[in-house]
Amino acid sequence: MLKYRPLLILVLLFFSLSTVSAQSAPRIIEFNSDLTTITPDQAESGTTEVTLHWRTQNVQPGEQIRIEVLVLDEWHEAVPGATFPADGTLTHAAPHTLSFAPPLFRLAIYDADGHLTDAKSLVIPYQVGDYEPQIVRFTSAVDAVRQSALQAGRVNVPVTWEVVNRPPDSNLVFEQVLDGSVTNIEAPRPFAWVRSHGDGSIYPALTSGDTIRLRLRLVDLADSTVYASQELTLPILRDVVTRPVATTAPPPSGPQVLSFQATPSSAFVGDPITLIWETRGAASVKIETWGWVGLTPPRTGLQSELYDLPPTGTQTIFMAGNLTAAYLIVDASRPGHEAPNVTLQLIPVDYRPDVRHYIISQGVGCPGDTVTLSWGIDTGFPVSIRSEVVVRTDNSIGVVENSPLNQRFDGLSAEGTLSVTVPTGEPGLASVVYNLFVERNGVASLLGQQRIEIGAECSPG
C-alpha cells in the first residue's frame, strides 16, 4: 500500500487545484425581483417599478456587473454606463420588450476585456386571468380622401388609436373592408408587434362605393379570436369629369415637380440615401420622410421635415429602420398655399442581415502575430473585412484612416475564417480594429467589429 501513496497525493492535489479554480470563477448566486406578474398595459406604460435583488461570488477588481433589459430582441443596459456592486438592489421601471415577450432582465458579469463570463435572466411573466379589452379610440385627422389620390396609390391616412386591457399574445390589425373581402393596409415593418396606443399612417385603396371602410381589430395570435373591433368610415371626394374642349391648352401654371428619385433605390438600416429632385416654377421645396404604423415614437409617423430646400437639388438622409416613404412638396411654406404639389417616393427597407458570430482568436498580441477572424452571416451578398490601425501619441489616441498598414479583404463568403498578421512598423501602435462589412448596391454596411490590443510587453514596431 505504501508504494501507491505518492500517486494518491498527486490525485488529491489535482482535485484540490481543480476545486479552487472552479470556486474562483465569478458566478451569480441569486437574481430575483419583488414583482411576480405584470399586465401588458402596465408594461407598455413604462411606469411600473420593480426592485431587483442579486448576489454574486468571486467577482474580482476590473470585472463589471451590469443590469440589462431586452428590447427589440437585443440586450441594452438598463442604466447606460453604470456598473453595480457584487451584491445589491436596483429599482427600475419594468421595460416593455416591444415584442410579444414579457419584460425580461439580465444580470451579467463581464471580465476586464468585456467578455461575458456569467449571466442570469429574470422574466416578469404576464398576469394570467380574464381581460376585458376595449378599443377606446380609432380616429383620423382627415375627414375625406380624394378619388384621384386613391387611384394614384398616394393616399396615406393618418390614424390614432388606443386599446386598453389588452391580453398577452394579442396584436392589432389595420384593414380595409371591401366588397366581399378584407385587405391589410399596413405599411411594411420588421417587427410584428404593434403598440396599444399611438399614431401612424395606413394606405387604403380605391373602391367602387362612395366611402372607404377602415377597421382596427385586436386579435389573438394563436387562434385569431377577435377581442375587439372598431370601424372608421371616410367619404371619397369624387373628381369632376368634364368634356374636353378642342382648344390649345395653355402652358401649366404654378410650380411643377419634374422628377424626384432616391439613390440607391433601397438600402440597409443606417445607410445613406441621396434624394434628387428637379422642379419648375417653385420657390422652395420641403421633404417629409414617413414610417410605418405601430412602433413607439420616434419610430412611428413623421420622422423628419426638411424645409426651404432649393427648387432643384440633392439631400442625403440616413435609412431609419422604419422608413418607407419620402414626400416632396413644393412651396409648402408659402402663406395661403393650401394644395401643394406632392410627389411620393417609396423607399424599400432591406434590413441588416443577422450576424451569427464574429470572433477574433485573441484579444491581446504583438506586431507580427497572426490572428484568425471567423464569422457567420445570414446574407447572400459579398462580405469584406477592413482593418484600421489605432495609434497612441503623447496627447491622444485615434484611428489612422489613410495608413498604408490598413488592410482590406473583399469578396469574402457569408461564412468563413481569415488569418491576418498584426502590422509592424507603426510607431505608437495601440490596437488594430477589424471591421466586418456587407456590400450591397455599391454601399458597404458595417455589421461588426473586433479588436486586438497591443500588449505593453511588446517591442516597438
N-to-C CA span, the chain: 60
Cβ distance 257 to 328 under 8 Å? yes
What count of Cα atoms within 13 Å lies in the side-chain half-sphere of residue 307? Answer: 3
- How many residues are given for the chain? 461
**Among 140, 135, 109, 107, CA closest to 122:** 107
**pLDDT on residue 372:** 94
**pLDDT on residue 299:** 36
Q: Is the pLDDT of residue 254 over 90?
A: no
**pLDDT on residue 21:** 46
pLDDT digits (tens, 9 = 90+) for 199-222: 888 888 888 888 999 999 999 988
How does residue 292 score in pLDDT terms, banded at 50, 70 and 90? very low
Average pLDDT over residues 171-184: 90
pLDDT digits (tens, 9 = 90+) for 262-289: 877 666 666 777 888 888 888 888 877 7
**Among 22, 68, 220, 235, CA closest to 143:** 235
**Among 265, 287, 267, 268, CA closest to 277:** 287
More confident residue, 421 or 403: 421
pTM over 0.75: no
What is the percentage of the chain residues whose pLDDT exceeds 90?
30
Instruction: Report the distance separating Cα 320 and Cα 332, nearest Å.
Output: 24
Q: What is the CATH number of domain 355-454?
A: 2.60.40.10
Q: Which residue bears the cell 380574464?
A: 130
Helix (H) and strand (E) counts in the chain: 3, 31
Q: Where are the beta strands (DSSP E) in 72-132?
A: 74-77, 88-93, 104-110, 116-123
- For the four alpha carbons of 455, 457, 460 and 461, in that order, the dihedral sign comes to negative
**pLDDT on residue 310:** 85
Cβ distance 159 to 200 under 8 Å? yes
Burial-class residue 369 by CB neighbours within 10 Å (0-12, 13-18, 19+).
middle
**pLDDT on residue 323:** 63
Would you state the CATH architecture of domain 256-346? Sandwich (2.60)
CATH of 134-237, picked from 3.20.20.70, 1.10.10.10, 2.160.10.10, 2.60.40.10, is: 2.60.40.10
One DSSP character per residue, 278-307 reads EEES-S-EEEEEEE-SSSPTTSSSEEEEEE
Q: Could you tell me which residues come within 8 angstroms of residue 26 by beta carbon, excluding any fewer than 6 positions away? A: 56, 57, 58, 59, 60, 63, 109, 117, 118
Q: Is the pLDDT of residue 306 over 80?
A: no
Instruction: Report the distance separating Cα 89 and Cα 85, nearest Å.
Output: 9
**Cell (9 digits) for 120:** 442570469
Q: Is the pLDDT of residue 241 over 70?
A: no
Q: Is the peptide bond before 340 cis (omega within 30 degrees of 0)?
A: no
pLDDT digits (tens, 9 = 90+) for 138-170: 998 888 888 877 777 767 788 889 999 999 999
What is the percentage of the chain residues whose pLDDT exceeds 70?
78
More confident residue, 437 or 295: 437
How does residue 23 score in pLDDT terms, banded at 50, 70 and 90? low
Q: Is the peptide bond before 264 cis (omega within 30 degrees of 0)?
A: yes
More confident residue, 335 or 241: 241
One DSSP character per residue, 308-356 reads EE-SEEEEEEE--TTEEEEEEEETTTSTT--S--EEEEE--B-PPPPEE
Q: What is the CATH number of domain 24-123?
A: 2.60.40
CA distances from 116 to 61, 165, 327, 374 (A): 15, 38, 45, 18
C-alpha radius of gyration, the chain, whole number = 30
Q: Considering the chain, what is the average pLDDT of its residues? A: 80
Instruction: Report the distance separating Cα 238 and Cα 236, nearest Å.
Output: 6
* Residue 151 main-chain phi, psi, to 5 deg: -60, -35
Domain residue extents for the chain: 24-123, 134-237, 256-346, 355-454
pLDDT digits (tens, 9 = 90+) for 58-107: 999 889 999 999 888 889 898 888 889 999 999 998 988 888 899 999 99
**pLDDT on residue 327:** 66
Q: Is the pLDDT of residue 15 over 90?
A: no
DSSP H helices, 25-121, are 40-45
Q: Could you tell me which residues come within 8 angstroms of residue 214 by beta carbon, excluding any fewer than 6 positions away? A: 140, 157, 159, 174, 175, 176, 177, 185, 202, 204, 231, 232, 233, 234
pLDDT digits (tens, 9 = 90+) for 407-457: 999 999 989 999 999 998 888 888 899 999 888 766 677 788 888 988 878
**Cell (9 digits) for 98:** 416591444
DSSP H helices, 29-107, are 40-45
How remote is the C-alpha of 144 from its chain's centroid? 34
